[in-house]
Structures are given as C-alpha cells and as structure tokens.
Amino acid sequence: MKHTELRAAVLDALEKHDTGATLFDGRPAVFDEEDFPAVAVYLTGAEYTGEELDSDTWQAELHIEVFLPAQVP
C-alpha cells in the first residue's frame, strides 16, 4: 500500500465517526482557533527495506496525532 493510500484509508475510517474534529492529511504547521479539536495523520521515517527482490518494499511510522486547545487556568 502506498503512503497516500494508507493515509487516505485511515482518514476515511476516522470520517465515519462524527467527532467534530478537523482532520488533516499530514502534520499541519499552523492551526486556527476553529480547527480544534484536530487529528493529523502522517508518516515519518520512510525507508527502503530491500526485503524482496524485484519489489519496492518500504517501511515508515504511521502517526495519528490529536491536537486540543490549550487550557488557561
């Protein structure tokens, strides 16, 4: 499964649940106040494994990160 397909599959699964969260494909650099709560789906550390001959086999870490607004005491 390609990285874009993997992220899309996770986002599709999350969209089935009406949580009110803003979903991001990738880790956002900046948030607006109305984006919270937010969930970001992204991959890091992608590298070629070379496990199979004649195949492009890669591995990466999948992140599903939740962002909540800061609470002021």
pLDDT tens per residue, range 38-48: 999 999 998 98
Ordered by start, the domain boundaries in the chain are 3-67
pLDDT at 53: 67
Does domain 3-67 bear CATH number 3.30.70.1700? yes
Q: In the structure encoding, which two tokens stand for residue 34, read together?
A: 């109305």
Residue 59 CA to residue 44 CA, distance in Å, equals: 9
Mean per-residue pLDDT for 8-31? 95
Q: 3-class DSSP state for residue 48?
A: strand
